[in-house]
Structure 1
Amino acid sequence: MNNNRFRLYHTDGCHLCELAQALIEQALLEGAQVSYQLIDICDQQTLADKYGTSIPVFSDGQRDLNWPFDLEQLQQFIGSSV
């Protein structure tokens, strides 16, 4: 796995977040060499303020990929971040 640490900002019970996570898992199955962690925005008020109306958001720490995104957009985002 690449050293890049991606994050998926989400919250429990978010159907769109589940769709985004499924796309990330699909990208990994198709050979994307990255690791990511799930970050629940409800755990930190600053994250809730920042992402509360835009989750799911996939981030590389510098840039955010906001929903909606598809597999191709996700793969391009990952590829441009490594």
Structure 2
Amino acid sequence: MSLTLYTSPGCHLCEQAEEMLDYLGLAFNAVDISRDVDLIRIYGVRIPVLQRSDKAELGWPFDTLDIERFYA
């Protein structure tokens, strides 16, 4: 299963989310929403948002346990 993390530059919460994913050893694709107007409209006030390949989403706030449950 693939994971996508919606993020933007300078987002300290996004950095925390990336650190958690790295800690868990989970591969993910980081998508910078600041380069796409549609993504800004969808995720602008919600980032970081983690999305699975089935399009299910886990929105902030979350911790490593939430990520593990989401990924399972």
**Fold similarity call, TM over 0.5:** yes
Q: Residue 28 of structure 2 corresponds to which residue in structure 1?
A: 36
**Which among 48, 55, 59 is matched to residue 66 of structure 1?**
59
Give, in whole Å, the separation in 2 of the partners of 1:49 and 1:40.
13
Gaps of 5+ in 2: none
> What is the TM-score with the length of structure 1 in the denominator?
0.82
* RMSD after superposition: 1.0
Within 5 A, what are the aligned runs for 1:2-21?
4-21=1-18
Give, in whole Å, the separation in 1 of the partners of 2:3 and 2:62.
16
What's the CA shift for 1:5?
A: 2.1
Structure 1 segments (4+ residues) deviating >4 Å: none
Residue 75 (structure 1) aligned with residue 72 (structure 2): no
> What is the TM-score with the length of structure 2 in the denominator?
0.92
Gaps of 5+ in 1: 29-33
